[in-house]
Amino acid sequence: MTRTSIGIDLGTTYSLAAIVQDGRPVVLPNALGELLTPSAVSLGDDGTMLVGAVARARATTHPTRTARSFKRDMGTARAIPLADRTFSAPELSAMVLAQLKRDAEATLGRTVDEAVVTVPAYFGDAQRQATRDAGAIAGLVVERIINEPTAAALAYGLHERHREMRAVVIDLGGGTFDVTVLEILEGMIEIQASAGDTQLGGDDFDTALAELVAQGLEAERAGVRAHPQGWARLLDACEAAKRRLSDAELTRVALPELPVGEGRTIQLERPVTRDQAEQAWRPLLERMKLPIQRALRDAQLRADQVDEVLIVGGSTRMPCIAKLATQLFGRLPLRSLPPDEAIVLGAAVQAALKAGDAALDDLVITDVAPFSLGVDTGARIGREVVHGLFSPILERGTVIPASRERTFHTLADGQRAINFGVYQGEHSLVRDNTKLGEYTIRGLAPLPAGEQAVHVRFTYDLNGILEVDMTLDKTGRTESLVIEGSASRLGPAQLKAARAAMARLKFHPREALPNATLLARADALFVELTGRPRSVLGAALAQFRLALEGQDPAEIAQGRAALARFVESLRDARS
């Protein structure tokens, strides 16, 4: 039986799903008819789970019951609170993936079984494992994980497959930043280097702008920062201002009755120019330069040897990103694909390639390891032994899948065990790198120092998943490393329990999401308004809620359309 596989861009701010139809990737709409599904989850007052646009709209009105940007916590042990409950980042991500799965199935009219899911190129082993866990909890087989800039390159290369060129993909999403250097040659897309920052994205630009606006609050600044609803409203307003500044030189941030703690509110209204915003963003733009420069060094290229610069990710709509790319490469960047959609289009192409789509049989892509991977070792210097040194086995930039081996020897006479810690990173001391796990080989023969050798082999696959084999030279005994130390890695029993817990959750009915989303968006706008517009919106909300109680489909549809038009007109007036 043929299984249906889709591509999914599981983003920090927005997520999308796509499939290849007639040789071309197509983004699939969600229950609202929109292509972008916010990566947000909210716990309703009645205990139902709300996912997507409705949850995002509740972030300003119900901040303690709503979670966003949890992608940054993938691979960590952080428990994310929603009211009186807590969830892990994989569990919240699974809810987004499950919503995308349901929406795709409704559009395609058939069951979706598998997905190719994208991750930032700089995601490590723990984060990639957490992503696979999220897919499993959502009921998806995620056999292939692809780096986000690689996916964008694949979407771009689909249109440029007969062109010879070197290109750089700059990918700035809501929560992560990646840069990838690639070469396209006769249908072959070869990734040559990747670098990035998993803690840099559009969210940080929102925060920097919010801090700029909050500087004018003087004594109330700390109160706004500490007040969940006040800070959520300020961040939301600054994100909207950031978007407006992409097209305008001047905008204003206006927040009536902004909570500042201890039951006090203030009236905030401040004009912000694009120059002021870009000054506040300067440290973030400087941080972007370092991964770009390192990727070029790893690819052994100068900026003037790059033929094209492709910018993807919703945050690249900011003019300062295009300006930075132009300064670094001396050429205007390309936006030949929609920034929000480029990654998921490439994920869909990868899913079709995996399924053997004949329309793509002349397209081939390779990828590289974004990190160096190695073990902690010691070195004898005179009579002393220095421990905690990092010995790379598989260097960053290695074309994957790859397998590399190094041989290590005992340091002490009669040594009966060797402990290997596995790390990813680029520093000479393991304490400065990221630990993936450890394993101890026991039962060594009591031989003089240096006479017992262990061959350590690292195998790194296309999903960025690492396997470690250790073979004793004297006996030929091989032991494999199972990384137990990752806080996010779930075993079979834990995955089964997580899937069962997911099945017990009560999700808001898909067919009712347009009504719930409109109500949440209108409620969020009601908080921001004052005077007559607020009163009129309140009356319109009451009228629509009355129609919902009546349960007449025609009346509900008519009321939803009227309220949606009114909300849109109020938003336009505020903008």
Any idea which residues carry the catalytic annotation?
Answer: 9, 71, 148, 171
Three-state SS sequence of 130-184: HHHHHHHHCCCEEEEEEEHHHHHHHHHHHHCCCCCEEEEEEEECCCCEEEEEEEE
Angstrom distance (rounded) from CA 465 to CA 322: 33
| Alpha-carbon span 347 to 193, nearest angstrom | 19
> Among candidates 200, 201, 211, which has minimal Cα distance to 235?
211
**Diameter over CA atoms, the chain:** 88
Q: Under 8 Å CB-to-CB from 398, ≥6 apart: which residues?
A: 368, 369, 404, 460
**Is 112 in contact with 28 (CB distance < 8 Å)?**
no
Residues 172, 315: contact at Cβ < 8 Å?
A: yes
Orientation of helix 89-108 relative to helix 492-504, angle to 10°:
60
Which long-range contacts does 433-439 make (Cβ < 8 Å, 24+ apart)?
433/390, 434/124, 434/126, 435/485, 436/124, 436/125, 436/126, 436/373, 436/466, 436/483, 436/485, 436/486, 437/481, 437/482, 437/483, 437/484, 437/485, 437/486, 438/485, 439/468, 439/470, 439/479, 439/481, 439/482
Please state, in angstroms and rounded to a whole number, the distance separating the CA atoms of residues 315 and 333.
Answer: 14
**C-alpha dihedral (314, 320, 325, 330), degrees to nearest 10:** 150
Separation CA 404–CA 397 (nearest Å): 13
Q: Taking CA 240 as the corner, what is the angle to CA 10 and CA 82, rounded to the nearest 5 degrees?
A: 50
In angstroms, rounded to a whole number, what is the distance separating the alpha carbons of residues 455 and 104?
47
Three state DSSP letters for 403-462: EEEEEEECCCCCCCEEEEEEEECCCCEHHHCEEEEEEEEECCCCCCCCCCEEEEEEEECC
Question: Residue 8 in contact with residue 117, Cβ under 8 Å?
Answer: yes
Q: Is residue 42 a contact partner of residue 66, using CB atoms and an 8 Å limit?
A: yes
Q: How many CA atoms lie within 13 A of 101 on its CB side?
A: 24
Distance CA 361, CA 520 (A): 46
Contact 246, 575 (CB under 8 A): no
